[in-house]
A = this chain, B = another copy of it.
Amino acid sequence: MVKANENYLKLPGSYLFSTIGKKVREFGEANPEAKIIRLGIGDVTQPLAPSIISALHSAVDEMGVKESFRGYAPDLGYEFLRNAIAENDYRARGCDISADEIFVSDGAKCDCSNIQEIFSLDNKIAVCDPVYPVYVDSNVMAGRTGSYDAKTETWSDVIYMPCTADNGFAPEIPEKTPDLIYLCFPNNPTGATIKKAQLQEWVDYANKVGAIILYDAAYEAYISESDVPHSIYECEGARTCAIELRSFSKNAGFTGVRLGFTVIPKELKAGDVALHPLWARRHGTKYNGAPYIIQRAGEAVYSPEGKEQLKAQVAYYMNNAKYIYEGLKSAGYTVSGGVNAPYIWLKTPGKMTSWEFFDFLLEKVNVVGTPGSGFGPSGEGYFRLTAFGTYENTVEAVDRIKRANI
């Protein structure tokens, strides 16, 4: 008699962004006249840059002609893209990462959630709190997190590293020793970053205790300050303790295009087992490559025109971030993030919980944000706004919140 994976049944409620989507849809249906502004999900709004559009059209044309048609892509990605990544994202920053250590995929969400598969089920994970829910949920589904305590909203076998105003939203080395450490900088949801010297401490710690850092650098394009690392491989010793996950979603607006990559250095091991061949085996067995035309779009991100156009796109969103940050600050809110990241993290006013503030903003001013508590217990009392809206909507949303005058 067939049985379901009972770990799935342990998951409390639905995926955060699905819940938000449902709430907003229901409110919109009940209030068709409301002009809802979405600053919740970290989804981009600017069209793809001209150089990317042009690369897509060329690749589509190639697929329509026998001589240039491409079938299955190489398991790990096309050389042209892996070379462009290695050169621009790594060697240009002095990081020793070669093209054959890069695994191209259809996005960082898939990689973040799949990467745990190559590790033992009895490995213990550590996550920041608040945290991007996918890290925890994918481990719950695999059966690695123990039992859920609905009161504390925590899992018995997960090590939580609180990130609050008290520690500048930077996690501290945990008391219990983890095997897998999820870090994300610039951080989603708090928008916080850590300096290179702080990241070096994590690398040294991981090497010392034999842990692996799963480093999510999806937002690195938003870094504006000079001593904030763009890659964990800027730190000495990271090749023996770190996997880096990257996305094209936020630096190039690929949320609906789907492209990302994971870096696994060849000398990275779990005990005696090299991890590069394990991830290669997973790609070869359970994945069939990102579409050719999308990989060509990824290549265009690194062209001189692409770089220039995307710099302007990132600047557009960061101008939104500045508007939100300064607007809410001037209105008396306690805000952080927004300087090296497209996320603004604010304290909810008065004694409001995160979800109360979510409902308030949705119902009173028709603005959608993300409740901080959806990212973990230490997110309670906080709220995330994203800078990925249009400038006009961002201004309108901030002005509405200010007018609401809570």
Contacts and interface: CB of A to CB of B under 8 A. Distances in A.
B285 A113 contact: yes
A257 to B, nearest CB: 5
How many copies the complex holds: the figure is 2
B288 A6 contact: no
A121 B5 CA distance: 7
Contact of A60 (B15, B60, B106, B119): B60
Interface stretch (A93-101, A146-154, A204-212, A325-333): A204-212
Interface residues of A, number: 84
A106 B259 CA distance: 12
Contact of A15 (B106, B211, B281): B281
B118 A8 contact: yes
Given A4-B275, A60-B56, A257-B291, A15 B71 contact: no
B71 A48 contact: no
B120 A3 contact: yes
Nearest to A282: B141
Interface in A183-214: 209-212
Interface string A256-291: 111000000000001101010010011011111111
A311 interface: no
B210 A114 contact: no
Contacts of A290: 258
Contact of A179 (B1, B75, B275): B1
Contacts of A123: 2-3
Contacts of A118: 4-5, 8
A4 B179 contact: no
Interface in A1-37: 1-6, 8-9, 11, 14-15, 17-18
Contacts of A170: none
26 contacts: A1-B209, A1-B271, A2-B211, A3-B122, A3-B273, A4-B118, A4-B120, A5-B278, A15-B281, A18-B284, A43-B71, A45-B71, A47-B63, A47-B64, A53-B60, A57-B60, A60-B60, A71-B253, A106-B106, A110-B288, A113-B285, A117-B141, A133-B285, A141-B285, A141-B286, A256-B292
Interface of A: 1-6, 8-9, 11, 14-15, 17-18, 41, 43-48, 50, 53, 56-57, 60-61, 63-66, 69-73, 75, 106-107, 109-110, 113-114, 117-123, 133-134, 137-138, 141, 179-180, 209-212, 253, 255-258, 270-271, 273, 275, 278, 281-282, 284-294, 390
